[in-house]
Structure 1
């Protein structure tokens, strides 16, 4: 009775959750629709382009003001002056007004609809127009400031360029789009160099898929010798691309670029190399920044298959798996229960390995390619050395797997496979890590088919062993053969991994 009640209750709870969630989303959308939005941004700013698409998708009443237009530049600088800022606001910068455009609600830098919701919630708490700084500080605006900002936004009080202080003009002249990663020392040093020259820096974290796509695309367009190295700094003067600094930023080089900012071409600098970029490359870089041109280099399938094969013949996997099948034979003999539990075990390994692969995919961007190669070579050497020096011990199922023996079943087999997929990682992670590094330039959706292919190849030998056991071949004999050729398999797998790892940087 209790079980039936739970079965009926779970769908009801699920439906309730979906309905409530839909109501919350609808209420949020209706609340956002009560306002008018003025967005200052640039078509060269990936976050601006992304945010504009979100506003369009949400069908909100907004006006986009690109800073490529000089009038909008003056408006944003004037707003910064009214707010008492010492620097140009980071874009996308939004002004939220009532639908009749007569009252100011809030303003600040936003990156998503969620930021809009937070800003409006803060306005509701203060019951006054607010400005949220880039550091998250909320400032309540006076009536005088509100009136001035509304006048600027409406275009009735735009300061003429010649009336503006010269240092304020200079303040907004240069800006940097810098692709970086968190905790990057070189990126922090580059930012210090730029800010010491009063240059605004907009950082784009390449651990985010969209930014990573743009980063790799620009690296390929400019023929960078190092696709992995950060920072990558794109420099603009009054929204005109003037230079690209690839890697370490030196103060002397920046001074040279600034002194020649009136130069018509676009300079490329890297480690003492200073050259001019062809017009075609410049146009492609600008398109990449706008998200209109993305290069995704898909991995070589043959290379990926070879890595999966080097992983699949890893003898430590065979030893554990054949031990598990011996347990099945001891418990059930032969038949469908052996097949079902064996398939469940393999599925557990696939799910575990896929989960690990997805986690490694998100982390791999922080690991330079040369480090991945070193790890792969290290795993390969370890496999060769252990294969040459060690003789594996056959596991006695009744002693070592006594607990598992009692719990055998389809569900338990899945759990065991899942657990073993994690425990095997120390002896089989090398090929997987190298394979995932080849997928780093792809989105997760694009990388998933390759991960699935890798895992299918990885478990093919396990399927073969299972089928052999099902048709009546001796699993114990298979295990003895694996143990007999353990050294050979280890050496072959290790040598193959070393070769494939080195190929990653060739």
Structure 2
């Protein structure tokens, strides 16, 4: 039955109702009642006759893979918003602080960005796991559509705008960020990281929401945490690279010049990648 239903990670106990497999105590406790009601309302016929699994089977993770998480996180990580704020922060403190102090401020900023996205993702998954049956698959589909829309906006931005991009940190929020940049203490750097996490959601949130939708539709909360950690670790990698490059030799002015010269190309590439990922998730059967 595990093979017929396409369950990648069999376990005990397992309950199979129609085409829905509940693997493990958490899934059974959380979803058994809804699965019974769904089967009573629409009885499944010949559930395993064709040896395939329906999209609503919680026991399979065939549509959620580590390479997909890595690709989506890599695309989301190269967003201009977080990089811009980190570089400006480094520009403001590099001449005033020791190398160790600059490193500590940068690490605090990056850690805050990581914690904000990880905790936000954990809260999202907890909410979905406690919601009605089927909402996670709907969210995964909606998130893929959002990724396509945001990707198209990035492409248009890169093609027609030289500055004032639509998917960027709002101009109205920049004075708030600048206040914490000027302070440049560890608590200020942490608050700055959280604020950047909030304000850069239009830049990076589309692909993160897509992965969260897939995680919620294919795994339990506990099973989804490693995917969440992997995504967020890759998401902050470019920030870590920029910090280390600046701390150990390359002037932040050169890094900032490169960012400004290539920001339109980056937006265009990110837009194309977001559209491609969204289309794959919407059109490939194993993803919905």
**Among candidates 92, 104, 116, match of residue 340 of structure 1:** 104
Which entry has the higher C-alpha Rg, 1 or 2? 1
* TM-fit CA distance, 1:313: 1.0
Query: What's the CA shift for 1:294?
Result: 6.9
When residues 405 and 301 of structure 1 are mapped into structure 2, their CA distance, relative to the original with a 3 A threshold, is: closer
1:412 paired with 2:188, answer: yes
Instruction: Name the structure 1 match of 2:228.
Output: 451
Q: CA deviation at 1:484?
A: 0.8
1:369 corresponding residue in structure 2:
140
- Find the partner of 1:323 among 76, 85, 88: 88
Matched residues in 2 for 1:294 and 1:435: separation? 16
Match of 2:38 in 1: 233
2-side partners of 1:279 and 1:495: how far apart? Answer: 39
CA distance in 1, matches of 2:96, 2:180: 11
Q: Deviations over 1:273-297 (max 9, x none)?
A: xxx426889xx9xxxxxxxx97231
After superposition, the Cα gap between the structure-2 partners of 1:351 and 1:423, relative to the gap in structure 1 and judged at 3 Å, is same
Residue 359 of structure 1, aligned match among 117, 123, 134: 123
- Structure 1 equivalent of residue 275 of structure 2: 498
| Residue 403 of structure 1 pairs with residue 172 of structure 2 | no
Shift of 1:404: 2.1
Q: How many residues align?
A: 241
Distance apart, 1:215 and its partner CA: 8.9
Deviation at 1:213, TM superposition (A): 5.6
Taking the aligned partners of 2:205 and 2:33, their CA distance within structure 1 comes to 27
Q: Does 1:435 align with 2:200?
A: no
Indicate the residue corresponding to 1:55 in structure 2.
Answer: none
Asked if 2 retains the 8 angstrom alpha-carbon contact of 1:387 and 1:490, the reply is: yes
Q: Where in structure 2 are the equivalents of 1:67-82 lying within 5 Å?
A: none
* Cα distance between partner residues in 2 of 1:278 and 1:435: 28
Q: Which has the higher contact order (CA 8 A, sep 6+)?
A: 2
**Matching residue of 1:382:** 153
Cα-Cα RMSD: 3.5
- 1:302-345 per-position Cα deviation (integer Å, ceiling 9, x unaligned): 1111100110111222212211211221432x410000110010
Structure 1 residues 294 and 489: CA distance shift in structure 2, 3 A: closer
CA distance in 1, matches of 2:48, 2:209: 38
**CA shift at 1:361, angstroms?**
2.2
1:137-174 deviation digits (Å, cap 9, x = unpaired): xxxxxxxxxxxxxxxxxxxxxxxxxxxxxxxxxxxxxx
Following TM superposition, by how much is the alpha carbon of 1:360 offset from its aligned partner in structure 2, in angstroms? Answer: 2.6
Aligned to 2:3: none
> Retained in 2: the 8 A contact 1:325–1:342?
yes
Deviations 1:46-65 (A, max 9, x none): xxxxxxxxxxxxxxxxxxxx
8 Å contact from structure 1 (residues 360, 433) kept in 2: no
Does the 8 Å CA contact 1:308/1:457 hold for their aligned counterparts?
Answer: yes
Distance 1:209-1:324 versus aligned 2 partners, 3 A rule: farther
Counterpart CA distance in 2 for 1:419 and 1:210 is 39
* 1:308/1:432 contact within 8 Å kept: yes
Structure 1 gap segments, 5+ residues each: 1-178, 180-207, 219-230, 236-243, 246-266, 269-275, 285-292
- Runs of 4+ residues over 4 Å off in structure 1: 208-216, 278-281, 399-402
TM-fit CA distance, 1:211? 6.0
Distance 1:404 1:330, change over 3 A: farther
User: Quick check: 1:489 aligned with 2:266?
Assistant: yes
Structure 2: distance between partners of 1:478 and 1:279: 57
Please give the secondary structure, in 2, of the residue aligned with 1:438. Answer: helix
**Inter-CA distance 380–232: structure 2 relative to 1 (3 Å threshold):** farther
* Equivalent residue for 2:65, pick from 288, 294, 300: 300
In the TM superposition, 1:189-338 aligns within 5 A as 210=28, 233-235=38-40, 245=42, 268=44, 276-277=45-46, 295-297=59-61, 299-332=64-97, 334-338=98-102
Q: How does 1:175-194 map to 2 (within 5 A)?
A: none
Tell me what 1:58 maps to. none
How far off its partner does 1:370 sit?
3.0
Flag the structure with higher helix content.
Answer: 2
Q: In structure 2, do the counterparts of structure 1 residues 215 and 331 end up closer, same or farther at CA, with 3 Å as the change threshold?
A: farther
Contact 1:213-1:296 within 8 A present in 2 as well: no
Q: C-alpha distance in 1, partners of 2:281/2:185?
A: 42
TM-score by length of 2: 0.73
SS in 2 for 1:472: coil
